[in-house]
């Protein structure tokens, strides 16, 4: 990967970002609370290098991704999931990545010729210099054009760069005034608009962020499209969304696959990096059916996974397998319940407050995690973990998440609702029923049943419907009440805009509040992380008052892999998890 740097020297703006994100220390947990890990014992002391070793030539691995990706384009709302990000690892080039310790940012010195540089602060300008050897797998150089086209697709349509692009999180990209390249395109200069700043500039278009890395500009021309024309750039966006990438600027390329079953990756013969891939084939299988994993692992049909959701039954079975490395610890993904605010009933904030008050998140957490991970904590801040200096408890005192049926009923009756014979009505009309949705996992199925029971206590009828395509369900706003998870990382300033701004494609429930919009826009403009964190907390306080998101907890994360592989380790700081360094994976040298 190349040179590394610690956060404080890089930004000079605040203490390390680790404490600011949904903090999680890699490989710190044990097996179900007994303190034991197997195979990854040294990860606690050496999270960035554990399970390192000399690789043998050849071999293959089948890795499970536990839901469908949604699309081939990570920028789009339907493709904007951890599953798409994992699917595309090793394909999209990126300026860098977070190491598992959450403190070390590793710039990609395969792509970059030297460390990025902050040129000036007014206007805020920074620069990346690319290696001449950095090319796409068809031999086309990776240049400033790729930075520019990715930025334009990731920005809001209102910016005028692209007609038809549907960015799920345009926030920080809307702040860019221009991207310029030298004649050879190998020096990339990014200038922000007047008055804008970005404390996380060093990770612009990083693989942890919305784009997942860089997309190739030159392929648009092969499709007969001019990326300088907003309408044609929109057509290119759709093409990327719908077309399996045969392009690659990373160590692997996709040679076969679809969005329903699996993708198959083989080494990119034009990979320009120092560390060459050794595995002949990586199969990434999309399998949300958790019940099939253990038989497949036992039979050698799969070799590893880092599931996005916790499953106590799977964990206990994996722990009993002697030939499988296993670990569990606090993760950076957090579960929450959201509303579709465009539902005719759920437009009413009083109904939303009552529903959230009736739901007992403590029961959800205990039923799902109490036996296998008793150290769980209920989440009281959407952006900052309790260990963060920026953590502020925004939930306690609101009554939301307490399961207080009596208070919930009072909220409803004060707002003109009536509960008769177990049915909620207003002005003589029955409220609901509501579609209560999530992906089909053991944890979420248990959660939905608990929620359904709690809401029936206040006369709210719900119908549970599960899906195996989270991205499509969210992107099409195909729910009334939904539970899903957000993945965190040490980057945080773009997240409030992505999740809560009225213009964001990832604000799936179409929540609108002018005050929240104003605050999250200021987060992006903040010159210090202290200021950005304070604004984030202020936005959360408004959000909680509007009862749009009910946090549950930071979900424990676990991973496993069959013995015989090296350089595979979990990275709870990244959406990509253990897949973050796929190009370095290999079989143990004989």
Residue with tokens 């999180």: 169
> What residue ranges in 43-103 does DSSP mark as E strands?
55-56, 60-65, 96-98
Return d(Cα 449, Cα 466) in angstroms, integer.
12
Return d(Cα 271, Cα 277) in angstroms, integer.
9
pLDDT, residue 333, reads 82
Instruction: Name 291's Cβ contacts closer than 8 Å, sequence gap at least 6.
Output: none
Residue 140 near residue 130, CB atoms below 8 Å: no
Instruction: Pinpoint the alpha helices (H) of 405-510.
Output: 405-414, 442-456, 470-475, 495-500
Burial class (CB in 10 A: 0-12, 13-18, 19+), 41: middle
Return d(Cα 389, Cα 384) in angstroms, integer.
8
Q: What is the CA radius of gyration of the chain?
A: 23
pLDDT, residue 38, reads 67
Sheet holding 187-192, edge to edge: 117-121, 124-129, 187-192, 176-181
Q: What is the dihedral of CA 419, 454, 82, 237, to 10 degrees?
A: -10
Residue 559 near residue 570, CB atoms below 8 Å: yes
Q: How many residues are present in the chain?
A: 590
| pTM tops 0.95, yes or no | no
pLDDT, residue 343, reads 97
Sheet holding 281-286, edge to edge: 252-257, 262-267, 281-286, 60-65, 304-305, 549-562, 324-339, 481-487, 434-439, 462-467
Give me the phi and psi of 126, to 5 degrees please.
-140, 165
Residuewise pLDDT in 10s, the chain (590 residues)? 654 444 432 322 222 233 333 332 333 333 333 444 667 988 989 999 999 999 999 999 999 999 999 999 999 989 988 899 999 999 999 999 989 887 788 999 999 999 999 999 899 999 999 999 999 999 999 999 999 999 999 999 999 999 999 998 787 899 999 999 999 999 999 999 998 998 889 999 887 677 789 999 999 999 999 999 999 999 999 999 999 999 999 999 999 999 999 999 999 999 999 999 999 999 999 999 999 999 999 999 999 999 988 888 899 999 899 899 998 877 878 899 999 999 999 999 999 999 999 999 999 999 998 887 888 889 999 998 787 788 999 999 999 999 999 999 999 999 999 999 999 999 999 999 999 999 998 889 999 999 999 999 999 999 999 998 998 999 999 999 999 998 777 788 888 998 999 999 889 999 999 999 999 999 988 877 788 899 999 999 999 999 999 999 988 889 999 999 999 999 987 889 999 999 999 999 98
Return d(Cα 313, Cα 513) in angstroms, integer.
41
Return d(Cα 220, Cα 136) in angstroms, integer.
14
């Amino acid at each position: 990967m190349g040179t590394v740097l610690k956060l404080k020297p890089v930004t000079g703006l605040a203490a390390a970002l680790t404490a600011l994100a949904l903090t999680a220390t890699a490989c710190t947990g044990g097996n179900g609370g007994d303190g034991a890990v197997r195979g990854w014992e040294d990860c606690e002391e050496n999270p960035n290098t554990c399970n390192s070793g000399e690789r043998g030539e050849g071999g293959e691995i089948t890795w499970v991704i536990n839901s469908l990706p949604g699309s081939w384009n990570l920028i789009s709302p339907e493709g904007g999931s951890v599953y798409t990000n994992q699917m595309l690892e090793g394909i999209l080039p990126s300026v860098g990545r977070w190491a598992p310790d959450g403190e070390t940012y590793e710039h990609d010195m395969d792509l970059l010729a030297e460390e990025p540089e902050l040129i000036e602060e007014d206007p805020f300008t920074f620069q990346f210099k690319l290696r001449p050897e950095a090319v796409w797998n068809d031999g086309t150089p990776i240049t400033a054009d790729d930075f520019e086209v990715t930025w334009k697709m990731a920005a809001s349509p209102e910016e005028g760069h692209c007609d038809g692009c549907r960015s799920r999180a345009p926030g920080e990209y809307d702040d860019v005034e221009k991207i310029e390249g030298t004649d050879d395109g190998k020096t990339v200069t990014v200038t922000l608009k007047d008055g804008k700043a970005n404390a996380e500039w060093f990770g612009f278009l990083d693989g942890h962020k919305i784009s997942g890395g860089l997309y190739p500009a030159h392929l648009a021309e092969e499709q007969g499209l001019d990326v300088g024309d907003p309408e044609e750039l929109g057509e290119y966006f759709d093409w990327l969304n719908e077309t399996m990438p045969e392009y690659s600027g990373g160590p692997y390329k996709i040679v076969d696959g679809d969005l329903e079953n699996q993708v198959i990756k083989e080494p990119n013969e034009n990979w320009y990096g120092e560390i060459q891939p050794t595995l002949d084939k990586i199969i990434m299988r999309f399998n949300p059916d958790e019940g099939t994993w253990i038989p497949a692992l036992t039979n050698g049909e799969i070799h590893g996974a880092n599931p996005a959701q916790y499953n106590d039954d799977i964990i206990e079975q994996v722990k009993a397998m002697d030939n499988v490395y296993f670990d569990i610890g606090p993760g950076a993904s957090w579960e929450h319940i959201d509303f579709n605010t465009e539902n005719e009933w759920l437009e009413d904030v009083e109904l939303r407050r009552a529903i959230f008050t009736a739901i007992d998140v403590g029961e959800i957490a205990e039923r799902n995690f109490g036996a296998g991970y008793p150290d769980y904590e209920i989440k009281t801040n959407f952006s900052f973990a309790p260990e963060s200096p920026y953590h502020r408890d925004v939930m306690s005192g609101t009554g939301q998440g307490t399961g207080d049926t009596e208070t919930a009923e009072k909220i409803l009756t004060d707002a003109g609702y009536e509960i008769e014979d177990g049915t909620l009505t207003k002005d003589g009309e029955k409220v609901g029923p509501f579609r209560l949705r999530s992906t089909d996992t053991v944890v979420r199925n248990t959660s939905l049943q608990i929620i359904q029971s709690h809401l029936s206590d206040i006369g709210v009828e719900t119908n549970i419907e599960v899906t195996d395509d989270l991205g499509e369900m969210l992107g099409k706003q195909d729910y009334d009440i939904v539970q899903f998870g957000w993945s965190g990382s040490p980057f945080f300033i773009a997240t409030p805009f992505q999740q809560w701004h009225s213009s964001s494609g990832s604000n799936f429930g179409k929540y609108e509040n002018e005050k929240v919009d104003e605050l999250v826009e200021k987060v992006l403009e903040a010159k210090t992380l202290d200021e950005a964190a304070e604004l984030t907390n202020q936005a959360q306080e408004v959000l909680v008052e509007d009862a749009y998101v009910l946090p549950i907890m930071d979900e424990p994360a676990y991973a496993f892999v069959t013995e015989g592989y090296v350089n595979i380790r979990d990275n709870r700081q990244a959406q990509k998890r253990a897949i973050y360094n796929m190009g370095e994976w290999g079989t143990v040298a004989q």
